[in-house]
Amino acid sequence: MIPVLFMGGQYNHLIVRALKELGVESRMLMPKAPLESLEGADGLVMGGGPMSVYDGLERFGNAPSIIEGWGRPILGICLSHQLIGKLLGGDVVKGRSPEYGRTVVRVIDEDGILQGVGKEFVAWASHNDEVKFREGASFKILAESEYCSVEALSDERRRLYGVQFHVEVAETPKGKKILGNFISLCRK
């Protein structure tokens, strides 16, 4: 089972549906759900939402403590990608140009979640903020775009992954492949 942490985004329900279409049991959880609600889960997907990481981490319920201490694979999408990047030592800043709509993602490293997606692909983005790598950050940059230097990241040791774009929408044709890769990582 791979639940989805609802972060207030309009596409969060589509993540649950996509996981079910890929043959995985899933359900929606709220950010304040106790850690016990993850018992029996193989991994967790954290969705996007309208908040900003610099609005204060307390607004994210139990999500920061889950990221920092759960120990099972977590995939953060959009806002949750930024939260993971921040907790792994990166900065979250206003992007030099917001990305809304079709974005060409360039793959730097096909590690883990981007296995088999090719050197570049089209994705649907919807964000003003972005993660910036900072000296001492514990994540690896997996992909970038023209306007976003960290479109995807990973910390393999901690089993944390993030994508700035939306894998759950039809406008990201490689999205199901990325979710499938994450499912495989959860089963290891």
Active-site residues: which are they?
A: 78, 166, 168
For the CA atoms of 160, 184, 26, 35, the dihedral, rounded to the nearest 10 degrees, stands at: -40
> Which residues are CB-contacts of 48 (< 8 A; sequence separation ≥ 6)?
7, 9, 11, 12, 77, 78, 79, 80, 126, 127, 166
End-to-end C-alpha distance for the chain, whole angstroms? 14
- Whose tokens are 């939260």? That residue is 83
Identify whether the C-beta of residue 168 lies closer than 8 Å to the C-beta of residue 179.
yes
Closest by alpha carbon to 168, among 77, 72, 44? 77
